[in-house]
């Protein structure tokens, strides 16, 4: 069983060794029923969807399937909340009651939030950082002094031992103030030292963590290369064992690494072919702790000029016969991709927090502006199309905060399965923020284009979120297929039973019963507030409709669903809406059932905002499910092919 050595939860994928591999694992059961390959280069899959396969051979598919199984499904697979949605379940105890800071951490967290807020206001000049394309040393040192650079690290290493929930609140403030600083902190803390915190041995942690935790040294996480972007498993940097057995020689390059050229310790992913005896010997990847003083380490470009989060140092690196001692291997040889995927799960939670910070800033700025600016003899705030934008922005900001808090709480509670939820948070919140900054610019009109205002910077900075830490399109496909897996497994059991009806009569009977029940019953969505009952009932109905729709799509497309990204997108979008709505309902229930402190008028305003989000999400889920039947997919493909053939 492959468990994270420190926290004992399964290793969480977010990218994949190959997306196809995840799809294949998700539906591996179906493949058993498909004709054997005709040759090594002939796809093993049925004629019905052979057309989608294009370049993949039977052996490539099988290889990717093995890799994905080894990577994604070898740990214990307890049903997480989001996966349950695909099965028509609403696992309320995972989301209710809404997560709050533990009483013993409230005072420390409040004090830290106040310190960070003040530091941002007095010492972080976001516009200056953007203009100079550099975060001043004084900012980095200040963040170190405040403990931000090692906030969740245990106190034995000098950290502040903050919960993930408390840390996301800190990141919300930093993200709302300066995106460059937030990405810098994320690269150092959420992904940079995270690998050491989760996977380092006691000796490695004692040696490396203290200066990283206090911020006197900086960390980076180096996975991306020219051939390994979304296809993270395609790392080409090699690590060859030295003959004396003392270590490895690394050769290759990395690009677009945040802090890459300024970090003192980097977690670097490299191939160690055939050393761990995994499913694909060629593609075994190992994580190494690397320092820039190692001979052969080259900073090709420490600060690649770029259009957004310009203050971060995004580096290009090269390794030429760089010796790395074997003591610097993290966890085990061959486990690098698992480390990478787990670490990115943590990064995505703080991504959600940073997005929430920016979204709050947008709502406040746009609201103030539309109340003051008069056109056609009225404040802009009086126009319906303005109100529509303000309401949308506020509703999604409220839901974003709730969704981030739930993901952080999964980590704090040591849950085993939250990979789907962090992927959903990343996709959903970054897409929502993109629209929020776009609407903010629209409401600010011409004013938003000028560099004396922050709005165009907010927009530039928000664009990175849709690509960094996993491109949203790729994550959508992952969300759909990873969520579909348990549904496919369940259907396969029934499929197999149908061939042996006498022996498997019980399975068939149970399935028949559950199918009838699924159509008649909706899951229980328990809320304490009477006011929320109608929306809870709506949500429950959408969960039921969604799971039935997923099942119907799996039955309709069978293994072909692996290649149906139009279908996957709708399933993923509906799933994200359901998850965000569930988190929002939990937050609202806490607000309206009297467990949250606060001023009654503020609570009422939040209730209005949250309920409005539930309505929007409910409608969008319906639209996604309708579009599964009524769409222009064939025309889309034909049109794209027509365009592509022109170039």
Output the smallest distance, CB 467 to ligand FAD, in A.
Answer: 5
Residue 328 in the binding site for ligand FAD (CB under 6 A): no
Contacts of 483 (CB under 8 A, 6+ apart): 82, 83, 85, 86, 420, 550, 571, 572, 575
Residue 603 in the binding site for ligand FAD (CB under 6 A): no
Binders of ligand FAD among residues 441 to 480 (CB under 6 A) are 464, 467-471, 473-474, 477
Of 66, 163, 184, 27, whose CA–CA distance to 108 is shortest? 163
Question: Please, which residue, 263 or 381, has the CB nearer to ligand FAD?
Answer: 263
**x-or-dash pattern for ligand FAD, window 154-193, by CB under 6 A?**
---------------------------------x------
Backbone angles phi, psi at 640, to 5 degrees: -60, -40
Question: Please, which residue, 224 or 553, has the CB nearer to ligand FAD?
Answer: 224
Residue 300 in the binding site for ligand FAD (CB under 6 A): no
CA dihedral 438, 440, 444, 446 (to 10 degrees): -20
Output the smallest distance, CB 336 to ligand FAD, in A.
Answer: 12
Half-sphere exposure of 296 (CA within 13 A, CB side): 14
**x-or-dash pattern for ligand FAD, window 89-128, by CB under 6 A?**
----------------------------------------
Considering only 314, 404, 448, 586, the residue that binds ligand FAD (CB under 6 A) is 314
Question: Please, which residue, 3 or 300, has the CB nearer to ligand FAD?
Answer: 300
Output the smallest distance, CB 626 to ligand FAD, in A.
Answer: 23
Output the smallest distance, CB 340 to ligand FAD, in A.
Answer: 8
Residue 149 in the binding site for ligand FAD (CB under 6 A): no
Residues annotated as catalytic (active site), given as ranges: 469
Considering only 178, 250, 257, 263, the residue that binds ligand FAD (CB under 6 A) is 257
Among the listed ranges 39-47, 155-163, 253-261, 514-522, the one in contact with ligand FAD (CB under 6 A) is 253-261
CA dihedral 601, 607, 612, 615 (to 10 degrees): -160
H or E element: which one contains 449?
none
Question: Please, which residue, 195 or 324, has the CB nearer to ligand FAD?
Answer: 195
Output the smallest distance, CB 502 to ligand FAD, in A.
Answer: 44
DSSP helix/strand/coil, 214: coil
Considering only 258, 328, 342, 551, the residue that binds ligand FAD (CB under 6 A) is 258
CA angle in degrees (0–180, nearest 5) for 446-450-452: 135
Of 408, 456, 169, whose CA–CA distance to 308 is shortest? 456
Beta strand 285-290 with 247-258: parallel, antiparallel or unpaired? Answer: unpaired
Question: Please, which residue, 306 or 556, has the CB nearer to ligand FAD?
Answer: 306
Residue of minimal CB distance from ligand FAD?
A: 229
Residue 229 in the binding site for ligand FAD (CB under 6 A): yes
Give the whole-angstrom CA distance, residue 541 versus residue 518: 11
Q: Is-contact 250 290, C-beta < 8 A?
A: yes
Question: Please, which residue, 344 or 535, has the CB nearer to ligand FAD?
Answer: 344
Provide the 10 A C-beta neighbour count for residue 372.
10
Give the whole-angstrom CA distance, residue 122 versus residue 39: 68
Three-state SS across 300-336?
A: EECCCCCCCCCCCCEEEEEEEEEEEEHHHECCCCCEH
The residues that bridge with 115 in the sheet, in sequence order, are: none
Question: Please, which residue, 105 or 473, has the CB nearer to ligand FAD?
Answer: 473
342, burial (CB in 10 Å: exposed 0-12, middle 13-18, buried 19+):
buried
Considering only 230, 301, 453, 514, the residue that binds ligand FAD (CB under 6 A) is 230
Among the listed ranges 215-223, 383-391, 590-598, 601-609, the one in contact with ligand FAD (CB under 6 A) is 215-223
Output the smallest distance, CB 232 to ligand FAD, in A.
Answer: 7
CA torsion through residues 63, 65, 68, 73, sign: negative
Beta strand 238-241 with 314-325: parallel, antiparallel or unpaired? Answer: unpaired
Residue 581 in the binding site for ligand FAD (CB under 6 A): no
Residue 224 in the binding site for ligand FAD (CB under 6 A): yes
Question: Please, which residue, 223 or 394, has the CB nearer to ligand FAD?
Answer: 223
The residues that bridge with 431 in the sheet, in sequence order, are: none
Residues in binding contact with ligand FAD, number by CB under 6 A: 23
Give the whole-angstrom CA distance, residue 356 versus residue 432: 10
Q: Residue 313 corresponds to which tokens in the numbers above?
A: 């140092």
CA torsion through residues 211, 213, 217, 220, sign: positive
Question: Please, which residue, 287 or 393, has the CB nearer to ligand FAD?
Answer: 287
Among the listed ranges 2-10, 21-29, 250-258, 326-334, the one in contact with ligand FAD (CB under 6 A) is 250-258
Give the whole-angstrom CA distance, residue 9 versus residue 592: 34
Binders of ligand FAD among residues 486 to 505 (CB under 6 A) are none
Of 18, 62, 64, 68, whose CA–CA distance to 37 is shortest? 62
Question: Please, which residue, 222 or 549, has the CB nearer to ligand FAD?
Answer: 222
Output the smallest distance, CB 220 to ligand FAD, in A.
Answer: 6
Considering only 11, 135, 219, 222, the residue that binds ligand FAD (CB under 6 A) is 222
Find the radius of gyration of the CA atoms of the chain: 25
Residue 624 in the binding site for ligand FAD (CB under 6 A): no
Residue 332 in the binding site for ligand FAD (CB under 6 A): no
Residues that bind ligand FAD in the complex, under the rule CB under 6 A: 19, 187, 221-224, 229-230, 256-258, 306, 309, 314, 464, 467-471, 473-474, 477
């Amino acid at each position: 069983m492959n468990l994270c050595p420190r926290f004992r939860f399964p290793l969480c994928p977010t990218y994949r060794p190959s997306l196809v591999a995840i799809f294949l694992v998700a539906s591996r059961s179906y493949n058993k029923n498909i004709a054997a390959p005709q040759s090594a280069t002939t796809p093993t899959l049925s004629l019905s969807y052979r057309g989608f396969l294009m370049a993949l051979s039977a052996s490539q598919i099988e290889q990717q399937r093995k890799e994905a199984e080894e990577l994604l499904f070898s740990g214990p697979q307890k049903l997480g909340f989001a996966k349950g949605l695909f099965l028509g379940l609403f696992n309320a105890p995972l989301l209710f009651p809404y997560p709050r800071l533990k009483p013993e951490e409230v005072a420390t967290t409040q004090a830290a939030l106040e310190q960070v807020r003040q530091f941002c206001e007095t010492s972080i000049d976001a516009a200056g950082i953007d203009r100079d394309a550099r975060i001043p040393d004084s900012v980095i040192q200040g963040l170190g002094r405040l403990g931000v650079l090692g906030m969740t690290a245990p106190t034995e290493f000098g950290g502040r031992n903050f919960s993930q929930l408390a840390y996301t609140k800190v990141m919300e403030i930093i993200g709302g103030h300066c995106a460059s600083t937030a990405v810098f902190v994320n690269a150092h803390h959420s992904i940079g030292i995270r690998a050491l915190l989760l996977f380092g041995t006691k000796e490695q942690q004692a040696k490396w963590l203290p200066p990283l935790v206090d911020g006197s040294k900086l960390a980076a996480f180096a996975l991306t290369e020219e051939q390994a972007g979304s296809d993270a498993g395609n790392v080409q940097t090699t690590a060859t064992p030295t003959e004396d057995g003392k270590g490895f020689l690394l050769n290759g390059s990395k690009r677009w690494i945040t802090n890459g050229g300024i970090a003192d310790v980097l977690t670097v992913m490299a191939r160690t072919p055939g050393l761990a005896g995994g499913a694909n010997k060629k593609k075994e990847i190992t994580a190494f702790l690397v320092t820039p003083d190692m001979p052969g380490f080259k900073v090709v470009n420490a600060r690649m000029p770029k259009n957004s989060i310009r203050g971060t140092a995004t580096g290009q690196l090269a390794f030429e016969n760089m010796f790395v001692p074997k003591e610097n291997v993290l966890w085990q040889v061959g486990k690098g991709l698992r480390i990478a995927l787990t670490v990115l799960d943590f990064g995505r939670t703080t991504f959600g927090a940073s997005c929430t910070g920016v979204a709050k800033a947008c709502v406040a700025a746009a609201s103030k502006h539309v109340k003051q600016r008069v056109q056609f003899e009225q404040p802009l705030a009086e126009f319906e199309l303005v109100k529509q934008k303000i309401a949308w922005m506020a509703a999604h900001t409220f839901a974003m905060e709730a969704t981030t808090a739930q993901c952080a709480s999964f980590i704090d509670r040591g849950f085993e399965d939250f990979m789907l939820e962090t992927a959903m948070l990343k996709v959903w919140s970054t897409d929502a923020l993109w629209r929020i900054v776009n609407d903010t610019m629209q409401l600010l009109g011409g004013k938003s284009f000028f560099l004396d205002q922050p709005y165009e910077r907010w927009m530039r900075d928000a664009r990175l979120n849709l690509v960094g830490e996993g491109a949203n399109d790729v994550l959508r496909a992952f969300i759909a297929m990873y969520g579909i897996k348990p549904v496919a497994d369940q259907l396969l059991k029934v499929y197999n039973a149908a061939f042996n009806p006498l022996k498997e009569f019980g399975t068939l009977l149970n399935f028949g019963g559950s199918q009838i029940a699924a159509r008649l019953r909706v899951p229980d969505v328990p809320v304490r507030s009477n006011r929320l009952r109608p929306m809870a009932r709506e949500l429950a109905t959408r969960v039921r409709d969604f799971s039935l729709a997923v099942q119907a799509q799996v039955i309709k497309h069978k293994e072909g669903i692996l290649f149906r990204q139009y279908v996957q997108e709708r399933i993923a979008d509906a799933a994200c809406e359901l998850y965000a709505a569930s988190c929002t309902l939990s937050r609202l229930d806490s607000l309206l059932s009297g467990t949250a402190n606060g001023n009654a008028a503020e609570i009422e305003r939040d209730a209005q905002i949250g309920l409005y989000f539930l309505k929007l999400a409910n409608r969008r889920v319906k639209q996604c499910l309708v579009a599964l039947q009524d769409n222009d997919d064939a025309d889309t493909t034909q049109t794209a092919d027509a365009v592509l053939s022109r170039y």
